[in-house]
Structure 1
Amino acid sequence: MKSILLSCVAAMGMVALPATIASAKVSKPYPMEYWAAPNFMSSVSLSPDGKRVAFIKAESQMGDNIIEIYETANMKKKPLRVGADTMEIQQFSWVSDRDLIVVFNKQVSKKIKGFNRGAFKSKVALFSIKSKKFEELNDDNFAISFVSPLIDKPNKVLVTFQEAREGKSRRAANYYEYDLKTGSKKLVLKGNQELFGYRFDKDGNPRFASKFDQGSEEFVYLWRPVDGGGWEEYHRIKRDSFENFSYAGIIKDEPDMVYVIAHNGEDREGLYKFNLRTKQFGELVFRHPEVELGGTTRHSNAWTRAGEVTGVTYGTDKTYTEYFDAEEEAIVNQFTAAIPNAHRVRLSSRSRDGNVVVVTNSGPRDPGSYYLYNNGAFSKLGSVNALLEPEQLSDVEYITYQARDGKTIRGYVTRPNGPGPHPLVVMPHGGPFVGEVVGWDDWGQMLANNGYMVLQPQYRGSTNYGLDFYKAAFINGGEGGGKMQDDKDDGVQYLIDKGEVSADRVAMFGWSYGGYAALIAAAREPNIYQCVIAGAAVADNQQQVNYYRNGIRGSQRVEQLAMWDDSVSPIEEVSKVNVPMLLIHGSVDQRVVVSHSKKYVDELEKYGKDFEYIELENADHFSNTLDYDHKMLAYPRMMDFLKKDCGPGGL
Structure 2
Amino acid sequence: MKTLKLAQLLMLSILVLGSSVVAAEPYPLDYFALRSAVSNVEVSPDGKHVAMLSNPSKEGDPFIEVYKTGNLSAKPFRLNADPMEIVSIYWASDDVIVFRARQKVRDKIEGFNQGVYEFVLASVDIKRKKIKKYEDIGADIENILPSKKNKVIYSFVPGNFKGSKLSEAFRPRAYYELNLKTGGKSLVARGKIALGQIETNGDGKPWLARGFDIQKGDLVWYARVNGEGDWEEFHRQHEDSFEEFSVQGFDPEKPNIYFVVANNGKDKAGLWEYDVKAKKFGELIYARKDVDIAGTLPHSNAWTNPDTQVAVSYTTDRTHREFFDGQEAAVYEQLRGIVPNAQYIRVNSRSRDGNTLTVYNQGPRDPGTYYLLHKGKFSKIGSTYPLLKAEELADVRYIKYKARDGRTIPAYITVPNGKPPFPAIVMPHGGPFVAEGIRYDEWAQMLANNGYLVLQPQYRGSKGYGMEHYMTAFNTEAGGQGGYKMQDDKDDGMMYLVEQGLADKDRLGFYGWSYGGYAALIAAARTPNIYQCSIAGAAVTDNQYQVNFYRARIRGSGAIEQLRMWDDSISPIEEVAKVNIPLLVIHGSVDQRVPPAHAHRYMDEVKKLGKKVSYIELDGADHFSNTLFYNHQKLLYESIISFLKNDCGPGGL
TM-score by length of 1: 0.96
Residue pair 1:537, 1:596 contacting (<8 A) in 2 also: yes
Cross-structure match for 2:104: 107
Cα distance between partner residues in 2 of 1:231 and 1:452? 55
Give the aligned residue type for 1:479. Answer: Q
Cross-structure match for 1:268: 268
- State the 1:87 CA deviation: 0.9
Cα deviation code 1:394-414 (max 9, x no counterpart): 101111111000111111111
Cross-structure match for 1:497: 499
Cα distance between partner residues in 2 of 1:190 and 1:343? 41
- State the 1:496 CA deviation: 0.9
Cα distance between partner residues in 2 of 1:554 and 1:62? 43
Cα deviation code 1:467-525 (max 9, x no counterpart): 11112212226511110100000011111112221111111000001001101101101
Residue pair 2:193, 2:212 contacting (<8 A) in 1 also: no
TM-score by length of 2: 0.95
Cross-structure match for 1:550: 552
- In the alignment, structure 1 residue 311 sits paired with structure 2 residue 311: yes
Cross-structure match for 1:14: 15
- State the 1:162 CA deviation: 4.5
- State the 1:36 CA deviation: 0.4
Say if 1:165 and 1:217 are closer, same or farther in 2 by CA, change over 3 A.
Answer: closer
Cα distance between partner residues in 2 of 1:594 and 1:333? 47
Unaligned residue ranges in structure 2 (runs of 5+)? 166-170
Cross-structure match for 2:168: none
* Secondary structure class of the residue paired with 1:307: coil
- State the 1:306 CA deviation: 0.4
Q: How does 1:298-337 map to 2 (within 5 A)?
A: 298-337=298-337
Give the aligned residue type for 1:82. Answer: L
Residue pair 1:15, 1:338 contacting (<8 A) in 2 also: no
Cα deviation code 1:315-337 (max 9, x no counterpart): 00111111111111111111111
- State the 1:172 CA deviation: 4.2
Say if 1:551 and 1:118 are closer, same or farther in 2 by CA, change over 3 A.
Answer: farther
Q: How does 1:397-546 map to 2 (within 5 A)?
A: 397-476=397-476, 478-546=480-548
- State the 1:252 CA deviation: 2.1
| Pairwise CA RMSD | 2.0
Say if 1:240 and 1:642 are closer, same or farther in 2 by CA, change over 3 A.
Answer: same
Give the aligned residue type for 2:634. Answer: M
Aligned match for 1:626, one of 625, 628, 632? 628
Residue pair 2:241, 2:556 contacting (<8 A) in 1 also: no
- State the 1:18 CA deviation: 13
Say if 1:129 and 1:502 are closer, same or farther in 2 by CA, change over 3 A.
Answer: same
Of 474-483 and 246-255, deviating more is: 474-483
- State the 1:85 CA deviation: 2.2
Q: How does 1:223-234 map to 2 (within 5 A)?
A: 223-226=223-226, 228-234=228-234
Cα deviation code 1:87-111 (max 9, x no counterpart): 1111111100000111111111111
Residue pair 2:242, 2:557 contacting (<8 A) in 1 also: no
- State the 1:177 CA deviation: 1.6
Cross-structure match for 1:90: 87
Cα deviation code 1:149-191 (max 9, x no counterpart): 2211222211235544697549843222222223222221123
Cα deviation code 1:40-98 (max 9, x no counterpart): 00011111111111110112101321011000012121111111221111111110000
Cα distance between partner residues in 2 of 1:87 and 1:25? 38
Residue pair 1:267, 1:467 contacting (<8 A) in 2 also: yes
* Secondary structure class of the residue paired with 1:516: helix
Cross-structure match for 1:31: 28
Cross-structure match for 2:578: 576
Say if 1:167 and 1:364 are closer, same or farther in 2 by CA, change over 3 A.
Answer: closer
Cross-structure match for 2:365: 365
Cross-structure match for 2:145: 150
Cα distance between partner residues in 2 of 1:563 and 1:88? 37
Say if 1:330 and 1:351 are closer, same or farther in 2 by CA, change over 3 A.
Answer: same
Aligned match for 2:603, one of 591, 601, 604? 601
* Secondary structure class of the residue paired with 2:473: coil
Give the aligned residue type for 2:580. Answer: N
Cα distance between partner residues in 2 of 1:173 and 1:464? 29
Residue pair 1:89, 1:103 contacting (<8 A) in 2 also: yes
Cα distance between partner residues in 2 of 1:472 and 1:481? 14
Of 31-40 and 189-198, deviating more is: 189-198
Cα distance between partner residues in 2 of 1:279 and 1:50? 42
Aligned match for 2:41, one of 44, 48, 69? 44
Give the aligned residue type for 1:500. Answer: L
Cα distance between partner residues in 2 of 1:253 and 1:440? 37
Residue pair 2:173, 2:197 contacting (<8 A) in 1 also: no
Residue pair 1:416, 1:448 contacting (<8 A) in 2 also: yes
Cα distance between partner residues in 2 of 1:378 and 1:457? 38
Cross-structure match for 2:641: 639
Cα distance between partner residues in 1 of 2:162 and 2:4? 57
Say if 1:18 and 1:134 are closer, same or farther in 2 by CA, change over 3 A.
Answer: closer
- State the 1:649 CA deviation: 1.4
Give the aligned residue type for 1:115. Answer: F
> Sequence identity, in percent?
50
Cross-structure match for 1:69: 66
- State the 1:342 CA deviation: 1.1
Say if 1:410 and 1:264 are closer, same or farther in 2 by CA, change over 3 A.
Answer: same
Residue pair 1:63, 1:627 contacting (<8 A) in 2 also: no
Cα distance between partner residues in 1 of 2:96 and 2:528? 62
- In the alignment, structure 1 residue 339 sits paired with structure 2 residue 334: no
- State the 1:533 CA deviation: 0.5
* Secondary structure class of the residue paired with 1:226: helix
Cα deviation code 1:424-453 (max 9, x no counterpart): 010000111111111210000000000111
Give the aligned residue type for 2:410. Answer: R
Residue pair 2:101, 2:120 contacting (<8 A) in 1 also: yes
Residue pair 1:18, 1:340 contacting (<8 A) in 2 also: no
Cross-structure match for 1:201: 201
Residue pair 2:239, 2:555 contacting (<8 A) in 1 also: no
Cα distance between partner residues in 2 of 1:63 and 1:319? 33
- In the alignment, structure 1 residue 120 sits paired with structure 2 residue 117: yes
Cross-structure match for 1:374: 374
Give the aligned residue type for 1:153. Answer: K
- State the 1:558 CA deviation: 2.2
Cross-structure match for 1:283: 283
Of 56-65 and 183-192, deviating more is: 183-192
Say if 1:537 and 1:209 are closer, same or farther in 2 by CA, change over 3 A.
Answer: same
- State the 1:420 CA deviation: 1.7
Say if 1:196 and 1:618 are closer, same or farther in 2 by CA, change over 3 A.
Answer: farther
Residue pair 1:17, 1:338 contacting (<8 A) in 2 also: no
Cα deviation code 1:598-640 (max 9, x no counterpart): 1111111111112111111111101221001111222111101
* Secondary structure class of the residue paired with 1:64: coil
* Secondary structure class of the residue paired with 1:199: strand
Number of residue equivalences: 644
- State the 1:362 CA deviation: 0.7
Give the aligned residue type for 2:259. Answer: Y
* Secondary structure class of the residue paired with 2:12: helix
- State the 1:146 CA deviation: 2.6
